[in-house]
Structure 1
């Protein structure tokens, strides 16, 4: 039986393609995108925290710990992963799951599948397989070992920004999901994506 792990929702981006602001707080089907993300994640992981920068009180209604990036200048999603690893370490956990705050339809068995696919180092990323068998990785959806947090911190301070360069260096496993009919990792970047998500919500619930 797999262990129930802590998780962090990555919502520290600046949403430039959406015109700025807090993209995960936009409404989808009468609820915030973030509420949909939490509803998918809560049965899989506990406890849950949110990685976001700026005034944390804007998320107070969610009742979740809010973790700011510990490195300056918004160095990307890996900074949110690092914040999550530091938080997980304080919880006494050996690993943490991450999901993106703008992706409301991710699989309900994500955490279990990531654990099953983890490498010897305890690292795994989600991916989708299309009709041609081509895999596309989704590096904000991953399982991350606390033991590598100092390595990640040093890499970020050294200028690393691309997630897969770091995960490949540590031999991450891959949890592959079917995306031939519906892409479970559809993310909302632009206003037209939000309209598409409203239609997708009717299909996947």
Structure 2
């Protein structure tokens, strides 16, 4: 179990295979911010999910977290999602799919997505320009399984837009002064901002 408050039928897939090309090519989700790796901060935010599955990156995952990789490796995010979904098991009805480099993701943000899903196939955050945050959303597992089956061998190398194109999506706005939960870290400046935000957030508690 992911914890005492785990929700039946709700799983999480954390995509952790990205490398920080603009930060020396390191394993980006493993970078430490405010005392914890970005990947583990994401896992904390999805603690209500059971199971939680990490796809790619370091296989050294916390107790109770499953690990897998897409086969063959390097197939892109849709292939990684397919591998993660398969690792959750058939009991999964709903799952959050997030990148492993979103250190500002919170349980409140996850809850907001889940409450907006309703009968749709997916609920995705959108930014102020209405751009969908394709790796920060909640999905219906049956719709995702169906779509992956339709793609077949084309799942390797497929784009996220190709995956989601025929699905029904509710777009979720993020209001308020807090930084958006989909903020990822691609540069050293991004890391600096995140560390400042997290320090301020924890000081305010």
TM-score band by shorter chain is 0.7 to 0.9
Are positions 1:66 and 2:71 aligned together? Answer: no
1:153-200 deviation digits (Å, cap 9, x = unpaired): 542633663213331311222222126652332111122221221112
Partner of 1:184: 181
2:41 counterpart of 1:36: yes
CA deviation profile, 1:108-138 (whole Å, cap 9, x unmatched): 223332233226453222223x3xxx32321
8 Å contact 2:39–2:101 — kept in the other structure? yes
- Cα offsets for 1:68-127 (capped at 9, x unmatched): 113x25232222221222122x25112211121111112422333223322645322222
For residue 135 of structure 1, give the secondary structure of its aligned residue in structure 2: coil
User: Which of 138, 146, 164 is matched with 1:143 structurally?
Assistant: 138
Taking structure 1 as reference, are residues 198 and 112 closer, same or farther at Cα in structure 2, changes over 3 Å only? Answer: closer
Q: Secondary structure at the match of 1:189?
A: coil
Q: 1:150 to 1:15 in 2, by over 3 A?
A: farther
| Aligned match for 2:199, one of 194, 198, 202 | 202
User: Alignment length, in residue pairs?
Assistant: 193
| Partner residue, 2:76 | 76
Contact 1:122 1:145 in 2 (8 A): yes
TM-score (norm 1): 0.79
Question: Deviation digits for residues 42-80 of structure 1, max 9, x if unmatched?
Answer: 1x4232121115x62xx145552111113x252322222
TM-score (norm 2): 0.79
Contact 2:147 2:163 survives alignment (8 Å) = no
Aligned residues: CA RMSD: 2.6
Tell me if 1:21 matches 2:26: yes
Rounded Cα–Cα distance in structure 2 between residues aligned with 1:193 and 1:187: 8
